Amino acid sequence: MTATAKVKDVKFYNLTPIIAEEIKKNYGKEIGIVKFANWDIYRNKKYYTLIWLKDINLIEPTKVKRSNGSGWIVLDN
């Protein structure tokens, strides 16, 4: 699936095990935590970023030369 979207909100965390559990409790359903094979892998990370999107529109895929392996690319209008 290829889409355009705008960022609605961003939350960045310096993780501790307590903050990881708060994220799981507060956002687990939204981030699909039931699909995570092993939550313990994620609760031991150092940083966590949650990004909410708005104005999501499906578009036809566009070929773009990629060099950094990112999961998204920022395009100017």
Q: Name the residue ranges covered by the structural domains of the chain.
A: 3-58
The string of pLDDT tens digits covering residues 22-56 is 988 998 888 888 777 777 777 678 998 999 999 99
**C-alpha atoms less than 13 angstroms from C-alpha of 77 in its C-beta half-sphere:** 3
Q: What percent of the chain has pLDDT above 90?
A: 30
Q: What is the gyration radius of the CA atoms in the chain, in angstroms?
A: 15
Paired tokens of 16: 């501790």
Specify the residue for token string 């966590």: 48
pTM score: 0.68
Tokens 């960045």: give the residue: 12
By three-state DSSP, how is residue 3 classified? Answer: strand
The answer to whether residue 1 scores a pLDDT higher than 80 is: no
pLDDT at position 77 is 59
List helix spans (H) across 2-38: 17-27
